[in-house]
Structure 1
Amino acid sequence: MYQQMIFPNLPVADLAASKEFFTGLGYELNPAFSDDHTASVVVSDTIVVMLLDHERYADFAKKPIADATKSSQVLLALSAESRAKVDELVDTAFSLGATPAGDTQDHGFMYGRSFDDLDGHTWEIVWMDPAAIAG
């Protein structure tokens, strides 16, 4: 079966700071798709986040860039392999300058926490019990 990929493109005010933030979370940059205006952040084999400075982002999006610190346009949700990994990733994000984006959600079979990155984009990190997913 073909595995579709997703490439969320996010406008960032300070590309160098955003690169430091995401590599600090443990993600790698793909230099083949990165330059002075763009960083390709490899989250997994099928998820690559493209960070674009405002000038480069405007080449693709003809609408004004929203200020994600003041309005919400998207929630980026990522799965985690355990509750501990949720905490590890979110706590690391906070240590790198992220801010809380909501309360911890603990429903027993599902656990999640969220943060706003340096530009205000909201990331939700969620673990779900595989037995609950199976049914």
Structure 2
Amino acid sequence: MAVQMVFPNHAVADVARSTAFYEALGFERNPMFSDETTSCMVLTEQVAIMLLEHAKFDEFLVGEQRRAPEGTLENLLALLLGSREEVDAFAAAGASAGGRLSKPVEDSEWGMYGGQLTDPDGHIIDFFFMEAPQA
């Protein structure tokens, strides 16, 4: 099996607000897979987050499946960034675009430098930089 792309799907209250937030983080909206209830936010050629307003998100659920209640953790997206400076810039962009630093940017015992950002809908983004191991 060869996975070609990954599309995490996030239920959001306001697709325009969420789109603006992810654009501030450097994601690009793909208009081909976006409309008034959905934004396809491209991070790389292999990763794009689908922002789906609640009713649209619910259309993908079957049977007894339900969207997690507000305040319940649905998932945690982790992003490896290219430098400490990119970590700092990501934190600043997220905070100024309506996100909340849920964990401050700092060095960890695992040799990583990063923090955690909560988007306006409560989705968590763990972002960090890690030096390549020395041989």
Structure 1 74/29 Cα, relative in aligned 2: closer, same or farther at 3 Å?
same
1:105-130 Cα distance to aligned partner (Å, 9 max, x none): 41373111111001000001111102
Partner in structure 2 of residue 48 of structure 1? 48
1:9-60 Cα distance to aligned partner (Å, 9 max, x none): 0000001111111112221100110011110000111110000001110110
1:60-89 Cα distance to aligned partner (Å, 9 max, x none): 024222245x22121100110001101101
Partner in structure 1 of residue 114 of structure 2? 112
Structure 1 30/19 Cα, relative in aligned 2: closer, same or farther at 3 Å?
same
Q: Is the 8 A contact 1:78 1:125 kept in 2?
A: yes
Partner in structure 2 of residue 126 of structure 1? 128
Query: Which has a greater percent of helix?
Result: 1
Q: TM-score, normalising length from structure 2? A: 0.88
Task: Identify unmatched segments of 5+ residues in structure 1.
Answer: none
Query: Aligned pairs, how many?
Result: 131
Q: Is the 8 A contact 2:88 2:105 kept in 1?
A: no
Q: Is the 8 A contact 1:78 1:124 kept in 2?
A: yes
Asked whether 1:95 is paired with 2:96, we answer yes
Structure 1 88/67 Cα, relative in aligned 2: closer, same or farther at 3 Å?
farther
Q: TM-score, normalising length from structure 1? A: 0.88
Residues in 2 aligned to 1:78 and 1:96: alpha-carbon distance in whole angstroms: 18
Structure 1 25/103 Cα, relative in aligned 2: closer, same or farther at 3 Å?
closer
Specify the SS of the correspondent of 1:94.
helix
Identity fraction in percent: 35
Q: Is the 8 A contact 1:87 1:113 kept in 2?
A: no
Task: Identify unmatched segments of 5+ residues in structure 2.
Answer: none
* Structure 1, 99-108 or 13-22: larger mean CA deviation: 99-108
Counterpart residue type for residue 89 of structure 2: E
Specify the SS of the correspondent of 1:104.
strand
